Amino acid sequence: MDIFNVTCPDCKKVYYCDLILFELEVRLHCPYCGHYFYKKESPGIYMGGSGTSAVAQIKGGIRPEMIYEPQEEKDG
Residues that bind Zn ion (CB under 5 A): 8, 10-11, 30, 32-33, 35
Residue 4 CB, shortest distance to Zn ion, in Å, is 16
Residue 60 CB, shortest distance to Zn ion, in Å, is 16
- In the bound state with Zn ion, the residue whose beta carbon lies nearer, of 46 and 50, is 46
Residue 15 CB, shortest distance to Zn ion, in Å, is 8
**Sheet with strand 3-7: strands edge to edge:** 14-18, 3-7, 45-47
- In the bound state with Zn ion, the residue whose beta carbon lies nearer, of 27 and 35, is 35
- Cα angle 51, 23, 16; round to 5: 45
- In the bound state with Zn ion, the residue whose beta carbon lies nearer, of 31 and 73, is 31
Do 6 and 45 form a contact (C-beta atoms < 8 A)? yes
Rounded distance, CA 27 to CA 33, Å?
A: 14
